[in-house]
Structure 1
């Protein structure tokens, strides 16, 4: 098949491609999963993916993996999949001419028609599924080898989790499509970062087996929370009936509830007293419950036990120890998420708490332009420009880039989330397995050790056709056994306090439950408001300007504080005028 040049129709329902810069040639890795939709009208279409294309004219579902030579988001046309889809080479020896069939569709591996265009080479592997033609034939070892080759590439360190998830999704489709595909279809949408994709695919399959009348489907979303938020807003604002169940960041619940996008859960009488009270409080808006806490995320400071005898006592100690590690040949003293996205806000929040500051006070008034906030942001800037303990490269990094730097032994300290713990302990992929520990970001003058409160909640799409079945799925995913599995594989902290006293969780978590509780107790929540996304956007811009030297910290924070006051006043959400 000759690669097509047609552009992807942005009006066709599908899933936004996740993009992230990885090298100087401008290639960006992505994984695209379509909505895993119900049967569509058999209208022929073609989606262009880099140098490759996928032609559509006879199936039902598509999953594609590849590299797109550019930085703009695109959409994969959501049409039926042809029985053969071309794959265009990313590496000279990556593919051969083998083909394989998976549940009624084929994968052909071919050579790039133009090897000279090395900056634009792309590999697009696709498989489709037709419930009336299921053969349950496995994906060939050659196909897996090709995809594994891509994951091992130095240019694509964060694709491994996506690949595992995509393969798991393919296996789930192969079984679920042949059993009960004519019944109701329940769709779950959430993150596949790290090992989350493998876990959720397995848990959804077990739920489907326990509910044979349902077909359960997984709609993948981007790793970055900001991109996932934008995608959800697009779906829900259009009153799309699926996905039925959504994984929400803890700060999105007030916004989505106020907009009428998610359904109230009080009618189901959930056992809220079995979860952390603070987590449940974040899932309420105007006194009503709109979500249930799935797992607790807290920012943690990872430190190398082979380089130092104990964790830093305060920020000055952190600076001194990070410098010492660099003097002993470790390239980076400290790495954190510094790209202009939500992760940067959580990093700043931990530094802000270290100096005793806040974004909003208890009355909802903006206090971002305080001396404490200026000290916190100045410390972050100086860590890059003056002390040299943080590489300037972090200003484009998110979670996976920082994890990759730490697990390859290039950093002495890393600020990240619990999901990284289990991955770092895997000797098959980590150079620091067994040689690190965790703590909170240490305190500074006027503050205390602080961790940003994160995590996920499960909510029901207000436009879902089957809210009762959706709540059944939420109940299942919140069962103790499912939470312990997530703790064991992904290192995510359960939201049920009682589990922290059990041997099962102690065996599952690589960090002692008592230490996890200590870090959770130090967690600080981000502002609870329906306009949090707008507040965050204002803060992201200001922080990044200060860290990149475009503005002094004081000027950046003063400008952000003024913009926040204007926003809250217009929204009638604060007792202050702009």
Structure 2
């Protein structure tokens, strides 16, 4: 689920271009930290919460082999918005407290344009084994700023036991099929008290993801290929109307308060038939320690859409080096270690998080343990990103506010999208 361009490397013209696209600030110092990847010694690794415990195991492995270059984990809150804000606050003070950053894939442009990341040498990082879609997320203006660590794409979790009981042999491919399946299951004694569907509709980053997937499934987009807003279209309207209708008639009444982890617990508690969720949930929902009521009872399929398979959002996390970090040579080596094939394989086995190394999706041992891997690989290859913009924080806040109003009845869908079109036009002007 659940992922600083230096002044020494820029001409005045390039700095002006960054300012024009929204990443610059006239009040910024003309001097920026050196991009030189030198310095050996301790490093801090800043990331969201590790609920699996596997991250610390991998870092313990690094620390055992590098006694003079120890890595210490700094865990940030669960909510991506809070993680991003804390990283930005650290960068704005030019603090060296944060070394390696575990960035959501959609933050690259914002962090790079604001000169908060150290450019990485492409000739020192082997990206050839990674899924092409993941490599793109670490780049900005043809430069590499982050190395793909984990990928992500939304999938449909469903209660296979209940579909089987209702005589349904395959998961739904369309919204209409999904609603029909819900009605059949709810007519069963076993279906009493089971809600139909859940995707996140609370006012967090996950609502931006839900909006991307709903609009793209209707053939629309939030921004077009040139970066211009396109939410004043029939396709965008249809996507948000789907979310609003599902929220009203098919989701649990608690939906507006459930975040990613809340949704996971709801599904694991046996309260959901269908759920849009990230790969990380698979291992936790299949746990046999008593924490999950649905272990062995569910399966995973591609997201449904209006007239056929839907569209997943491209998620995941990339590892980058703060422009203000010390010991950047150690930081780069640590990134190579944590994004290497061996570490990614171990992480997949322990957490079910999506790797970025392509060959792992075809490994017989892994596909036996995680039969959804072919589905996930296809979802990642066709996934659509959230808006790739320099002012990402403002853009996602605008999307969340307008879509929340539309989905939860605060405004008519038409009015909410008209307002959003105006906000996005202003925020993306000149980039």
SS in 1 for 2:128: helix
Q: Does 1:379 align with 2:379?
A: no
SS in 2 for 1:274: coil
Q: Does 1:443 align with 2:300?
A: no
Q: Deviations over 1:109-168 (max 9, x none)?
A: xxxxxxxxxxxxxxxxxxxxxxxxxxxxxxxxxxxxxxxxxxxxxxxxxxxxxxxxxxxx
The structure with the largest alpha-carbon Rg is 1
Q: Deviations over 1:524-566 (max 9, x none)?
A: 1122221222111100000111122110111101100111001
Inter-CA distance 506–190: structure 2 relative to 1 (3 Å threshold): same
- In structure 2, the residue matched to 1:346 is 209
- In structure 1, the residue matched to 2:142 is 287
- How far off its partner does 1:393 sit? 1.6
- In structure 2, the residue matched to 1:314 is 174
- How far off its partner does 1:518 sit? 2.2
Point out where structure 2 has 5 or more consecutive residues left out of the alignment: 1-39, 164-168
SS in 2 for 1:260: coil
Alignment map for 1:213-292 (pairs within 5 Å): 213-266=68-121, 269-292=124-147
- In structure 1, the residue matched to 2:227 is 364
Q: Is the 8 A contact 1:249 1:457 kept in 2?
A: yes
Which of 1 and 2 has higher RCO (CA within 8 Å, sep 6+)?
Answer: 2
SS in 1 for 2:115: coil
- In structure 1, the residue matched to 2:277 is 416
Which among 303, 319, 325 is matched to residue 458 of structure 1?
319
Q: Provide the C-alpha distance between the structure 2 equivalents of 1:188 and 1:364, rounded to a whole number of angstroms.
A: 33
Q: Does 1:324 align with 2:187?
A: no
SS in 2 for 1:192: coil
Q: Is the 8 A contact 1:282 1:528 kept in 2?
A: no
RMSD: 1.6
Point out where structure 1 has 5 or more consecutive residues left out of the alignment: 1-182, 574-578
- How far off its partner does 1:255 sit? 0.4
Q: Deviations over 1:419-473 (max 9, x none)?
A: 000000012211111111112221214x742111100000001111111000011
- How far off its partner does 1:476 sit? 0.6
Which among 26, 40, 43 is matched to residue 186 of structure 1?
43
Q: Does 1:396 align with 2:253?
A: no
Q: Provide the C-alpha distance between the structure 1 equivalents of 2:154 and 2:372, rounded to a whole number of angstroms.
A: 16
Q: Provide the C-alpha distance between the structure 1 equivalents of 2:283 and 2:160, rounded to a whole number of angstroms.
A: 16
Q: Provide the C-alpha distance between the structure 1 equivalents of 2:180 and 2:381, rounded to a whole number of angstroms.
A: 27
Give the alignment's TM-score, normalised by structure 1: 0.64
SS in 2 for 1:459: strand
- How far off its partner does 1:339 sit? 1.3
Q: Is the 8 A contact 2:120 2:145 kept in 1?
A: yes
Inter-CA distance 515–384: structure 2 relative to 1 (3 Å threshold): closer
Q: Is the 8 A contact 1:336 1:414 kept in 2?
A: yes
How many residues were matched structurally?
383
- In structure 1, the residue matched to 2:426 is 566
